Each structure stands twice: as structure tokens, then as C-alpha cells.
Structure 1
Amino acid sequence: MVTEPPASDRLYAPHLRAMTVGSVALVSLLAFEALAVGTAMPTVAAALDGLALYGLAFGGTFAAGVIAMVVSGIWCDARGPRRPMWHGVGWFVVGLLVAGSAPVMELLVVGRMVQGFGSGLLTVALYVVVGQAYPENLRRKVFAAFAAAWVVPSLVGPAVAGLVVEHLGWRWVFLAVPVVAVPAALLVHSGVRQIGTPAASRPAPGARTRIAWACAAGVSAALLHYGGQQRGVLAVVLVGAALVGLAGSVPRLLPAGFLRAARGLPTVVGLRGLAAAAFASAEVVIPLMLSRERGFSPTAAGLVLTTGALSWSLGAWVQGRVAPRSLATLPRVGLTCLTVGTATVMLGVLPAVPVAVGVVGWAVAGLGMGLTYPSLSVLTLALSAPGEQGRNSSSLQLGDNLCTAVVLALTGSVLAVGAAPGPGTYLAMLAVAVGCALLGALLAGRVVPPAVIRPGDGVGDAAVAGSRSA
């Protein structure tokens, strides 16, 4: 006989139900918009004669998001997540309305930047909501639900966006989303308003300096994205300047010891960045490789990517249900799966190897991401003092974005070499992804330092395993 868990152990208990539904809905909207805009943007650029600003429409959004993540982390720690969440929704909605009604490409880029700023505020605030409103035993399930919230947009987002563009016009890809965003935020607000304001209601010392460095990182990230679209000497100069800017700003934004993989939070942030970069760089290569080397249609290549999205959701579901003492070992298992899966995808370059082998490999890689991502989110909150959850959640997502930007610029440079990509090009690009995942798997034993071990605590017990195996 199966007994129902007590209310405190259920994600949809009466006092958590509205907040859970609203949070998952907001994550789904962010996911849908990210995927849908990619589908609609070629039509947008043609309609507004803005091909020259095509790269900036994505890079500007990314740069604004980097700045907003830092601002949101500081704000959440000083005043709690309620105001950053509402400001995030507000900026996100205003950006969508500006982009959807833009008569010229320049204004659309401005709208996209405003939208990106709102997304950055909102994403960090939602992480802090999880840390402050949910008991520790439910956090893995919340992050598993967030991962699952990307699945439906991954499956139907591009197709729905294509239908909207074709039958209603590209503007509705932007204008329809606010109709759902505000009600979802109201559901979250019903629970968030119970979270008190921190005792320290002023930003921590150095907050302004940190925001200034975030601006430098955001501009550098946009420059890196834009430089990757160029060719010749201009590309070298722009990418070089961007890397110098990132090298100067990143150590001041991410936890001390990030670059040397110090035990605990620095390694947790680094592993998320390596996992994100590995998966994203492989995801860029696969459709191109399948279409050019195996003759796949865009739809068929997209279905291959869908296997990774589905297995990601499965992995997130599994990590939410394993024993708490396994928390510190999940990143190693997940990154190992990501390494093996991506290496298996490399075999798809060989004509003699059936495509099904590569598809299975991508499913294994997605499973690894599902095991890795939510567990690292939970570890970040477990390693954060109450007044540091905003800053550390911000660092976690900054690591994702900045590592991904650098690695995508590297793989983009590999793709730009030569007149046309061939098997060697795809192998080189996938080798970068495998290298990132393998490095993460080798460092995964350093996720929790012995200092946080608490007798009888699930994370503490997991820390024993993690620290002893480092």
C-alpha cells in the first residue's frame, strides 16, 4: 500500500501549490521565448531589413541578462526576492511589447535587450524563492520541475513559433507571451509575499563595483558574440578585445577560487559552466552535421535534438528521487554521462556508423544534463548562507552564460575556418564539447568541502562522499 507523503514533503501541497505552478509557468515562458525567437528571427530580420543587426539581437539580450543577474543577486540578498521578481516580469513584458511593435530593427534590438534584462532579474529571483520558500528536502524536486518546464517548449516551441509567424505574423511571437506572464507572476507572488525582508536591507559593500564589473562582462560578452559573426582581421580584433574584457571581469564576479576549481562553491559554479558549454556547443553542431553529412531535413534534425530534451527531463526526474546522500555524487555521474554521450555523437561523423548510434549518444548526454543541472542548483543553495543566496545563484547562472559564450565563440571560429565545413570540422567542434564535459567529470569530486559537513544532514552526508573522493 502506497501512503501519501506529508504535506511538507509534497511539491504541490496547498501552501506551495500556487507558487510552484506560477514558478514553473514562468520558467516555461522564458524557455518558449528563447526558442521561439530563434525560429522567428530570420523572418524578423528580412521584414525589418536588419540582417546587419541579426547577431546583436541575440548578443545584446545576453549582455543585458549578465548585468541583470548581478543586480538581481545583490537586490535579493538585500531586500528579498519579491521586488526583483516583479521588476523582472515588468522589464520582460515591456521588452516583449517593444520588440513586437518595433517598426525598425534598431528598436527591436532595444526591446530584446530590455527583455533580456528582465529575464536575468527574474531567473535569479526564482532561484532565491526556491531557497527561501521551500524546505531543503523539496529543492531538488523544484529544480527538476524547472528542468521539465523546458521540455514542452523544446518539443513544440519552434513549431508553434513557425505556425505563428506563418499565419499570424512574427510580431505575435513577442506580443502573445505577456498574456500568460502576468498571471503566472501573480501565482508566485501569493507565496513570495510570505518571505520576510532580510535583516540587512542595504546592499552589501562593494555592490556598485560588482555591478560595474558586470557591465564590463556584459559588453564583452556582446562583443564576443558580435565578433564571432565577422570575418578576417575585424573578427580577431573584436574577439580578442572581448576575451580581454572577460578575463578582467569574470574573476571579480564569480566566487574566489573559480579559476583554480577550489573546493565547494567555486567548483559547483565551474561545473555548471562546463556542463552548459559542453551541451550547447554540441547542440549547435548536431543539426548542421546531420543536414550536410547525412541529408537530414531541418525537421528530422530537430527531432534528434528532441531526444536530448526528453532524456534531460528524465535525468532531472531521477535526481529528484534518489537518496539525499547521493547529492554530491550526482554531478560526477551526470558529467560522465555527458562525456560518454557526446563522444558517442562524434561517431556519427563516420559514414559507416548508423545515425541511431549518435541519437543514443545524444540521449545519454541529455540524461547527464538532467542529473547534473538540478543537483548543482541544490548544492549552491546548500552552500549559501541566507544572505548570500542571491549572489551565489547569480554566480551560478553567470558561470553558465559566460562559459557558454566563450566556448561557442571558440567552436564558431573553428566553423569559420575554410570554405565549407567537413567531417574534420565537426569532429573538432565536438571534441571541444567532450573536453569541457570530461574536465567537469574529473573535477566533480570537489563540489562540497568538508567544512559544510553536518551530522545527519543529507547534503552533509553527501559532502563526505564528495570530499573523500576528491
Structure 2
Amino acid sequence: MSSEATRASSIWDPAHIWVTIGAVALIFLAAMQSLAVTTVMPVVSDDLDGAALYAIAFSGTLATSVIGMVAVGAWSDRSGPVWPLTVSVGLFVAGLVVAGLAPTMDVLVVGRLVQGLGTGGQTVALYVVVARVFPPALHGRVFAAFSAAWVVPSLIGPFLAGAVAEYLHWRWVFLGVAALTVVAFAMVATRLWGMPLETQHPSSDPIGPRLACAVAVAVGALALSLAGELGQFAGLVVAASVLVITFAARPLLPRRTLTAGRGLPSVVLMRGLIAGSLFGAEIYVPYLLIDEYGFSPTWAGLGLTAAALAWAVAADLQGRFGDRIGNTRIAVIGTVLLCAATLSAAATAAWLLPPAVVIGGWALAGAGMGLMYPRLTVLTLAYSTPQNQGFNSSALSISDSVGSATSIAVMGLAFTALAGTDAGFPAVFVIAAALALLALVPGLRLGHAHEARP
């Protein structure tokens, strides 16, 4: 890294500003798309008669993202993040176009699978960009800016997506983001192509075995999502899928991750558990508001706004005061807030409490995630060296996606099994609360990696 970058005191100084703007813009659009799809998917499912594929439209994207993460992580460790980021953005845009033009739910799911390849790769490539471009003292502020990039999407994304679906067509939710992503990437690519981002000692670890494991994880997650359609064989498929995911994921993660080893393994494991809790449950919040309370897509989207705003505020506090608060306190406070949010949603669904309860309670989930999410990313880079930044970044994102995909699949199975009863929505949120509590186990074993103070 250049001496100029080392002396930098701000992510907005002339040496970094265009990389910061471009990277934040890509995160912004990914956030916009994520919030938008969560809002409009009930409408898409109804329009394309695809209720049976509702869960896989989310979990499938997360499953294939694992393949993108592994490939881009290894590629970045060998030759730098520029080409991996370019290809990832291309796949992300292609998937959005396919989904936006899809005539059936099956084709839309295919588009979502392609989009997942790009989403996973883009996330890892941007993490490596941060590690290679910004000095360690600025990492916390960069990831706080990434979290803050959810602020505007949280304010206008769900509402805008609902309005687009209601007054124009849901297809523009996909196609509009695709066009804007091309513009955002052009901004960051111009600067990155002129930077020396290759490491002096590139990794030579073989990629084939890890890529095969990533494919196995993705196939296992997809099979788990589809198990509910297999009738009497569903139980067997669920058990086999969980075993495949568990064993195939092990080489993709740091050693002792699944046993909550102290330090980086617990950082990676905790990320997967809290992601599974929040993202698994969050897709059912607008579903609950539309199905049980008669909200329009526009107003149901606003149910996610308070959480996203709280996430951004908490992320900024973490970026400024995270070292003072400490990793253990952040883990405890964050998981308690997440558990309280999911239990409030379960109570709302079980007893049909006023919708303000689930909307307000979901803000607690956002606050908890805003504290934990960027902190875990900072810790991952602090535990990393230039030779394994790509591997560790991909491991963090893999845990994120596998946790989310698996929990969405399990919640989808529970929701489908309880269809026609009043227990479907409460069951989903109770599963999320259990995952939040379980995250305390690795949360108390995060340790310290001498993370840089801003």
C-alpha cells in the first residue's frame, strides 16, 4: 500500500474518494434491490402463480452466492480484486435482467440464481478492495459507510418498490436496478483499473476442491428449499441436505468454525447465525402485513424502514465507538436486541397485535445488526493477512449466505407445513429468535485481533 494511503485520515480524501463513492454506490444498489425484492415478492409470486417457489426465490440467490464468493475470494488472492469485481457485477446485472423479463416463476428463479453468483462475488471483491486500498485505521469507517448506504434505500426502497409494483409493474424493480448498477460500476472501475492492487505474494492454494465444495453447498441449500415439494421423501431430503451443507462448508471456512473456536472461527460462525435469524425472518414481515393486515405493497414496504434506519445509526455508532464498547458487549447487546425483535414479531402474529408492534419491534433487529454486522467484518480483516484476505472475506460471506439460505429454507418448510393454520408466521419468528440466542455462543468468543482504532 502506498505511503499516501497510509497517511490518509479520511475515506473521502482525494486518494480514496472515487473508490469510496463507487463502492458505496454498489452497496447502495444491492441494498435497494434486496429491500425492494423483499417488498414486492408477494406480488410477484401472485402474478406468476409461484407461491410454491416463494422461499427458493430468496434462498436460491443466497445458495449460488456461495459459489461466487469462493471463486472470487480465490481469484482475488491470486491476482487482485479488479477483474473478479468486474465479472461479478456483470453476473449481477444479467440476473436482474433475466428476472425482470421472466414470463414464469421458474424463469425468475433462474435469474435469481444467476444474480446470486454476482452478488456473492461482488461482496467479497469489495471487501478485498477495502483491504488493499484503505489503511487499517479506516476500515471501520468504510464498513460503517457501507452500512449507512442502506439509509436511503431504507427510506425510499421498500416504499418505492411497492409503489412501482402497484402503479407501474414489479418488473421495473429488477430492470431499474440493473441499469443503475452499470453506471455505479463505471464510477469505481475507472479508478480501480489504475491502482496496483495485486499482493506481492499471491496465494497458490488449489481452487478446484474448494469450488467443488461450494457447488455442493449450493446444491444442498437448493435441495433443502425444495424438500417441501417431495411429499413422503421430504424428511430424507432435509436430513441429507443438512449433512451435505455441513460437510461441504467445512473446507470453505476457517478451522474450528463449526465448533465456535475462539477468534476468527467464532467471528465467522456468529455472522452466519445472526444473518440466518434476521434475513430468514425479514422476508415474512411484509408477507405478514399484506396477508394478515391487508396492507398494500407500498405500505408493507414501510414496515422495513424503521429497521434499516436503526441499522444505519447503530453502524455509525459502532464505527465511532466500537473499540470503547468492546466486542463482547457488542455481541451481547446485538443478540438481545435481535431476539427481542423476533419475539415481538412472533407475538404479533400469534395474537394479531396491532401492526405497529411488529413494525416498531423490527427496528430493534436493525439496531442489533447495525452494531454486530460491520464489527464482525472489521474483525475478519484484522485477523487476516494479505495472503488470506480473499479467503477470510469469502468465508465470512459464505457463512452469511449459508446461514441465511438454510434458515430461509427451514422457515419455508415450517411455514408450508403449517399452511392453513394460525401457527405459520409465529413458527417462523420463533425459529429466528432461537438462532439469535444461539449466536451468543460464538459471540462470547470473538476475542481481539488488535483491530485498528480510527
Question: How far has the Cα of 1:308 moved from its partner?
Answer: 1.2
> Within 5 Å, which residues of 2 pair with 1:35-434?
35-39=35-39, 57-101=57-101, 107-165=107-165, 168-192=168-192, 193-201=194-202, 203-228=203-228, 230=229, 232-289=231-288, 299-322=298-321, 324-329=323-328, 330-349=330-349, 351=351, 356-422=356-422, 425-434=424-433
Aligned length: 447
Normalised by the length of structure 2, the TM-score is: 0.87
Q: Hey, what's the Cα distance between the residues in 2 that align with 1:302 and 1:205?
A: 44
SS at match of 1:311: helix
Q: Hey, what's the Cα distance between the residues in 2 that align with 1:29 and 1:347?
A: 33
Structure 1 residues 295 and 254: alpha-carbon distance in aligned structure 2, compared to 1, 3 A threshold: same
Q: Identity over aligned residues, as a percent?
A: 43
Match for 1:242: what amino acid? S
Q: Structure 1 residues 52-61 or 321-330, which shifts more? A: 52-61
Q: Structure 1 residues 15-24 or 372-381, which shifts more? A: 15-24
Tell me the alpha carbon deviations over residues 187-242 of structure 1, each in whole angstroms, 9 at most, x when there is no partner: 223443324312344x53232100000010011111222224x2632433433332
Q: Structure 1 residues 248-257 or 209-218, which shifts more? A: 248-257
Question: How far has the Cα of 1:445 moved from its partner?
Answer: 2.4
State the match for 1:467 in structure 2.
none
Structure 1 residues 156 and 421: alpha-carbon distance in aligned structure 2, compared to 1, 3 A threshold: farther
Match for 2:273: what amino acid? L
SS at match of 2:221: helix
Match for 1:199: what amino acid? Q
Contact 2:350–2:426, Cα closer than 8 Å, also in 1: no
Q: Hey, what's the Cα distance between the residues in 2 that align with 1:393 and 1:341?
A: 28
Match for 1:432: what amino acid? I
State the match for 1:468 in structure 2.
none
Question: How far has the Cα of 1:18 moved from its partner?
Answer: 1.0
Question: How far has the Cα of 1:161 moved from its partner?
Answer: 3.3
Tell me the alpha carbon deviations over residues 331-370 of structure 1, each in whole angstroms, 9 at most, x when there is no partner: 3322232233433444435659665555443222211110
Question: How far has the Cα of 1:29 moved from its partner?
Answer: 1.4
Tell me the alpha carbon deviations over residues 249-275 of structure 1, each in whole angstroms, 9 at most, x when there is no partner: 111211111111001111001111111
Match for 1:26: what amino acid? L
Match for 2:217: what amino acid? A
Question: How far has the Cα of 1:447 moved from its partner?
Answer: 0.8
Structure 1 residues 314 and 378: alpha-carbon distance in aligned structure 2, compared to 1, 3 A threshold: same
Q: Structure 1 residues 381-390 or 403-412, which shifts more? A: 403-412
Q: Hey, what's the Cα distance between the residues in 2 that align with 1:306 and 1:369?
A: 14
Q: Hey, what's the Cα distance between the residues in 2 that align with 1:281 and 1:178?
A: 25
Q: Hey, what's the Cα distance between the residues in 2 that align with 1:176 and 1:60?
A: 22
Q: Hey, what's the Cα distance between the residues in 1 that align with 2:263 and 2:181?
A: 35
Q: Hey, what's the Cα distance between the residues in 2 that align with 1:197 and 1:287?
A: 44
State the match for 1:441 in structure 2.
440
SS at match of 1:256: coil
Match for 1:415: what amino acid? F
Higher relative contact order by CA 8 Å / sep ≥ 6: 1 or 2?
2
Structure of higher CA gyration radius: 1
State the match for 1:15 in structure 2.
15
Q: Hey, what's the Cα distance between the residues in 2 that align with 1:339 and 1:39?
A: 22
Q: Structure 1 residues 208-217 or 56-65, which shifts more? A: 56-65
Structure 1 residues 234 and 150: alpha-carbon distance in aligned structure 2, compared to 1, 3 A threshold: farther
Structure 1 residues 83 and 340: alpha-carbon distance in aligned structure 2, compared to 1, 3 A threshold: same
Contact 1:331–1:376, Cα closer than 8 Å, also in 2: no
Tell me the alpha carbon deviations over residues 120-173 of structure 1, each in whole angstroms, 9 at most, x when there is no partner: 211110011111211222212211221222233334334433444455544433
Q: Hey, what's the Cα distance between the residues in 2 that align with 1:102 and 1:428?
A: 32
Structure 1 residues 188 and 428: alpha-carbon distance in aligned structure 2, compared to 1, 3 A threshold: same
Contact 2:272–2:401, Cα closer than 8 Å, also in 1: yes
Match for 1:283: what amino acid? E
Q: Structure 1 residues 384-393 or 43-52, which shifts more? A: 43-52
Question: How far has the Cα of 1:443 moved from its partner?
Answer: 3.1
Normalised by the length of structure 1, the TM-score is: 0.84
Tell me the alpha carbon deviations over residues 415-442 of structure 1, each in whole angstroms, 9 at most, x when there is no partner: 23345232x5544433322222122234
Q: Hey, what's the Cα distance between the residues in 2 that align with 1:50 and 1:348?
A: 26
Question: How far has the Cα of 1:393 moved from its partner?
Answer: 0.8
Root-mean-square deviation (CA), in Å? 3.1
Q: List alignment gaps of at least 5 residues for structure 2.
A: 1-5
Structure 1 residues 287 and 445: alpha-carbon distance in aligned structure 2, compared to 1, 3 A threshold: same
Q: Hey, what's the Cα distance between the residues in 1 that align with 2:351 and 2:178?
A: 46
Q: List alignment gaps of at least 5 residues for structure 1.
A: 1-5, 460-470
Structure 1 residues 345 and 207: alpha-carbon distance in aligned structure 2, compared to 1, 3 A threshold: same
Contact 1:40–1:161, Cα closer than 8 Å, also in 2: yes
State the match for 1:465 in structure 2.
none
Question: How far has the Cα of 1:376 moved from its partner?
Answer: 0.4
Q: Structure 1 residues 113-122 or 40-49, which shifts more? A: 40-49
Q: Hey, what's the Cα distance between the residues in 2 that align with 1:347 and 1:40?
A: 24
Q: Hey, what's the Cα distance between the residues in 1 that align with 2:28 and 2:381?
A: 22
Q: Hey, what's the Cα distance between the residues in 2 that align with 1:134 and 1:350?
A: 48
Structure 1 residues 200 and 179: alpha-carbon distance in aligned structure 2, compared to 1, 3 A threshold: same
